[in-house]
Amino acid sequence: MAFLNDLAKRGERFAPGHRLCPGCGQSIIVRALLNITDYEIVIANATGCLEVCSGLFPYTSWCVPWIHSAFENAASTIAGAEAMYRVWKRKGRTDKDIKFVALASDGGTYDIGLQALSGAMERWHDFLYLCIDNQAYENTGVQRSSASPFGANTTTTPVGKVKRGKEQRRKDIMSIVEGHHIPYAAQASLHNWRDLMNKIKRALDTKGPTYINVLQPCCTGWGFPPDMTVEVARIAVETCAWPIYEVVDGKVKINYKPKKKLPVEEWFKMQRRFAHMLKPENKDLLGRAQELVDEHWEWLLKREAAGL
Amino acid sequence: MKIGEKVQWNELLTGGVIEDPGNSIDYKTGSWRIERPIWNKEACINCMFCWVYCPDSSIKVDKDGNMAGINYDFCKGCGICVKECPKPGALAMVLEADIEKKGMDVVFKETFGGK
C-alpha cells in the first residue's frame, strides 16, 4: 500500500477540530479531495452540514481558500471566482495553476442549488462540482429532499398509520447533469477510496465543468452506529442501490459490478429509516423499491453495452 | 483574531474573513469520546486504511507515511478505523471508563494479550 503511505506523509489540508458528528463521512470525502491532488484549490461551500461544522466562526478547518456561500449559489460563487482567475491569468497577475471546486450536499444540489449548477455548467466554467449526497436535509433535522430514496422515513415523510415514508422516487441528478453535455460526470462512494480519488483527480485534470456525486451515509439521519459508515456505503454499492459509474463524453462506464448482486433488503436492514419497509405488511413497498433499483441498474448496463 | 477573548464588532474583518487557516485545531473534539480506539504497533501492517477513512484526521503519520499512533485530542471515537482495519489485533475499541478505572496498561493487555 505504498500509495497511501505516500499520500499520508504529505500532510493534511483539512484540519481536525471540526464539529461533524462522530462517524460522519463528509470529512472522509473532503480529505480524499484535498489529499489526492497537489493543485492549489479554491472552494465554495454551500450551506449544509459540512459548511456549518467546518466553518464555525471564528474557527475554520480549511487550510485552502474557502468561501461560504448561501444555500443556492455555490456553483455561481465558484463560477465568479473562476472567471476572475481567468482574467488575472490573461493580464499576467498570476501564473499559478489553481483549481476550483464547489462543495454542496444533496439539498444544495438536487433542489435549491440546481439552477445555479445548471447555469455554471452551461457557461462552461472550469470547475468541479462535488455533491456530497446524504439523501436528506440532514443538517436541519432530516427533512426529505429530492435525493431521498423511495420509502425513506424522514421528518417530513414520517411513517404512521396513513403514510409509509417517501412516496416518490429519487431524482436522477446524473442524467440532468449529463444533459449539459459536460466532459466528465461520475458517481462514487466513499468506501472505495481508490475509485473516489481517481475520479476526483480525473475531474480536476479535465478542462471544463465536471461533476461528481458521492454517497455519504449519515449515521444520525439514516440511523446506524457511527462505525458502520463505510460499511453502509459498501453495501449500497453491492446492492446496486448506488451504482458507481462515470459518464465520459456521454458514454457510460460502470466502474464496479458486484459479483453477486445483493437484494436491496440487505441495505435497508442496516438503517432505521427503512425499518418499516421490512415489516410483512409493507411487502409491496419493498418490492417497489427493488423494482426501482433494478430498473436503474439494468438501464445502466444496457447503456454501457450499447456504448451510449 | 484571538479566540476566546471578547472581540468588538469593529475588530472583525470585513465579510467575516478568518485569517488563520485550520485554526479549528484549537478546538479539541476528543472530549466527545465514549469509546477509544487503541493501537497495537506490533500487529500493524501500515496499510493506512485507518488514515484514509478517519473523519477527524486523527491518525498520526511518521515521516515515511507509516502509522504512528492516534491523536486523542481530536478522535471522536466513531470506530471506523477499527471496523475497517484488515489486520486482526492491530486496532480495538475500549471504553474510556475502563481506562479510567483500570489504567491503560491493564486494558491494553486485556485487549491484545501478551506484552
Task: Give the alpha-carbon dihedral of A204, A193, A178, A154, to 10 degrees.
Answer: -130
Q: Which of A164, A176, A178, A163 shows the shortest CA–CA distance to A210?
A: A178
pLDDT band with cut points at 50, 70 and 90 for residue A103:
very high
Give the three-state DSSP class for A174.
helix
Q: How far is A209 from chain B (nearest CA, A)?
A: 27
Residue of A8, A17, A226 with shortest CB distance to B25: A17
Region A139-153: mean pLDDT is 94
Per-residue pLDDT tens over the stretch B45-84: 999 999 999 999 999 999 999 999 999 999 999 999 999 9
The residues near A145 (Cβ < 8 Å, ≥ 6 apart) are A106, A107, A110, A111, A135, A136, A137
List the domain boundaries for chain A. 11-306
- Rounded CA-CA distance A222/A271 in Å is 6
How far apart CA A228 and CA A111 sit, in angstroms, is: 28
Per-residue b/e over A161-194, b at no fewer than 16 CB within 10 Å?
A: eeebbbeebbbebbebbeebebebbbbbbbbbbe
Residue B55 CA to residue B109 CA, distance in Å, equals 28
Q: What is the pLDDT of residues A62-97, one digit of tens each?
A: 999 999 999 999 999 999 999 999 999 999 999 999
How many CB pairs below 8 Å do chains A and B form together?
A: 137
- Contact (CB, 8 A) for B23 and B3: yes
Average pLDDT (A164-186) is: 94
Chain B nearest-CA distance from A230, in A, is 7
pLDDT of residue B115: 54
Answer yes or no: is pLDDT of A1 > 60.
Answer: no
pLDDT greater than 80 at residue B3: no
Evaluate whether the domain defined by A11-306 bears CATH number 3.40.50.620: no
pLDDT band at B11 (very low <50, low <70, confident <90, very high): confident
d(CA A60, CA A41): 16
With a cut of 70, say whether residue B2 has pLDDT above it: no
Average confidence (pLDDT) over B27-51: 94
- Could you tell me the pLDDT band of residue A171, with boundaries at 50, 70 and 90? very high
Tell me the average pLDDT across A139-156: 94
* Residue of B90, A208, A189 lying closest to A199 (CA atoms): A189
pLDDT cut 70: percent of chain B above it: 94
Across A170-179, average pLDDT:
94
Closest CA to B55 of A256, A87, A17: A17
Whether residue A181 has pLDDT greater than 90: yes
pLDDT at B4: 63
> Per the CB < 8 Å rule, is B48 touching A26?
no
Q: Is the model's pLDDT at A167 over the cut of 80?
A: yes
Confidence at residue A197, expressed as pLDDT on a 0 to 100 scale: 95
Class of residue B89 by CB neighbours under 10 A (exposed 0-12, middle 13-18, buried 19+): middle
All cell numbers assigned to A152? 425513506
Interface residues of chain A, partner chain B, Cβ below 8 Å: 1, 4-9, 12, 14-20, 22-28, 31-32, 54-64, 193, 225-231
Chain A CB contacts of B28 under 8 Å are 17
* Residue with more model confidence, A261 or B15: A261
Q: Closest approach of chain A CAs to the CA of B80, in angstroms? A: 4
Strand partners, A45: A68, A103
Measure the CA–CA gap between A168 and A241, rounded to whole angstroms. Answer: 15
Q: What is the pLDDT of residue A286?
A: 94
Give tens-digit pLDDT for A247-278: 999 999 999 999 999 999 999 999 999 999 99
Q: What is the mean pLDDT of chain A?
A: 94
Q: Looking at this protein, which amino acid is placed at residue A88?
A: W
Three-state SS across A69-102?
CCCCCHHHHHHHHHHHHHHHHHCCCCCCCEEEEE
The yes-or-no verdict on residue B114 having pLDDT over 90 is no
| Whether residue A101 has pLDDT greater than 60 | yes
Share of chain A above pLDDT 70, in %: 100
Q: Which domains does chain B have, with CATH numbers?
A: 27-112 (3.30.70.20)
> Which residue, among A90, A275, A121, A230, has the nearest Cα to A185 in the 3D structure?
A121
How many angstroms separate the CA atoms of A135 and B43, rounded? 38
pLDDT for res B8: 81
pLDDT of B1: 59
Q: What is the pLDDT of residue B13?
A: 86
B51 touches chain A (CB under 8 A): yes
Give yes or no for a contact between A29 and A130, defined as CB atoms under 8 angstroms apart. Answer: yes
ipTM value: 0.92
Closest CB to A60: pick one of B21, B59, B93: B21
Count Cβ atoms within 10 A of the Cβ of residue B11 and give its class: 0-12 exposed, 13-18 middle, 19 or more buried: exposed
Contact A262, A269 (CB under 8 A): no
Is the pLDDT confidence value at B16 over 90?
A: no
Answer yes or no: is pLDDT of B5 > 90.
no
The pLDDT, as a whole number, for residue B97 is 94
Mean per-residue pLDDT over chain B, rounded: 90
pLDDT, tens digit, 9 for 90 and up, residues A212-249: 999 999 999 999 999 999 999 999 999 999 999 999 99
Alpha-carbon distances, residue A235 vs A133, A286, B67 (angstroms): 16, 17, 28
B95-111 average pLDDT score: 93
> Highest mean pLDDT: which of A125-129, B16-20, B26-30?
A125-129
